[in-house]
Amino acid sequence: MNHLQNILLVILMLFSSINIHAQQDTLKLQREARTLLRNGNKLYNQQKFTDASVAYKKALGKNSKYDKASYNLGNALYQEKNYKEAVPQFELTTKTAKTKVEKSEAYHNIGNAMMEQKQYQPAVDAYKNALRNNPNDDETRYNLAVAQKLLEKEKQKNKDKKDDKNKDKNKDKKDDKNKDKKDNKDGKDKDKKDDQNKDKGDNKQDKNKNPDKKKDQKEKPKPKQGQMTPQQIKQLLENLNNEEKKTQKKMNLKKAKGKKVKQEKDW
């Protein structure tokens, strides 16, 4: 019995030792990650955003759940104009943030990154989520208004393009139909005239004895393929004029102001 107890005691001591070593390793990695984060923050403040990104990535390599490092990495990527890669870092922060204010700032930065990519619907959604977590943020409220205006303009522009495309499509069908009618009419007139000429030729056989003699009357020329009618030319000029006005008439809205790139410090 005593022998069995001794074996169990040894096993417990062994597991305890392994657990202690694991905890020590974890604490060591966390300390290293914290040091890398601080180095990244110093580089970020010096506007060395690429070097800061490298430091933050190394910190995450030591501790993948280090939310401050992921948030700061998102800010550094944003400053590098690498908006596409910045968004996932901010999204991670929205899931790990401990306070609503931190979560709001992360959503705000997502909105800014989406605005830079001209993805206005995701930007609107992000700003709304930011306000849900911090309703008193006037900066986010302003950015939301700008994003909504740009989204409305984009939808209207797409609608106009679709309407113009359908209009041109219907016009082409109508023109083709009119052309077919005209071709049929010209064909019938030509056949009728040929029959009349044939009848005259039967009465005057001496005129048809020479097969190489050219006809006196020329065939009526058919309309050229693709030739535009005056109405089509007028419509084309109006469309070009409208497009030029749309290009010149840009909204005098300020860009979404303020980039909430507040760094998470850990010192």
pLDDT digits (tens, 9 = 90+) for 155-166: 999 988 887 777
pLDDT digits (tens, 9 = 90+) for 123-155: 999 999 999 999 999 999 999 999 999 999 999
Compute the 3-state secondary structure of the chain and give helix, strand, coil in percent, each to the nearest 5: 75, 0, 25
pLDDT digits (tens, 9 = 90+) for 165-181: 777 777 777 767 776 66
pLDDT above 60: residue 204 = no
Contact 103, 93 (CB under 8 A): yes
pLDDT above 80: residue 120 = yes
The candidate with the shortest Cα–Cα distance to 83, out of 92, 70, 72, 74, is 74
pLDDT above 50: residue 63 = yes
The percentage of the chain sitting over the pLDDT mark of 90, rounded to a whole number, equals 46
CB atoms within 10 A of CB 45: 10
**81-167 fold:** 1.25.40
Phi and psi angles of residue 214, each rounded to the nearest 5 degrees, phi first:
-75, 150
What is the sign, positive or negative, of the torsion defined by CA atoms of 135, 138, 139, 141? Answer: positive
Phi and psi angles of residue 114, each rounded to the nearest 5 degrees, phi first:
-70, -35
pLDDT digits (tens, 9 = 90+) for 65-119: 898 999 999 999 999 999 999 999 999 999 999 899 999 999 999 999 999 999 9
Residue with the larger pLDDT of the pair 35 and 208: 35
The pTM of the full predicted model, rounded to 2 decimals, is 0.59
The candidate with the shortest Cα–Cα distance to 91, out of 52, 134, 125, is 125
Residue whose tokens read 């991670």:
92
CB atoms within 10 A of CB 151: 16
Domain boundaries, the chain: 81-167
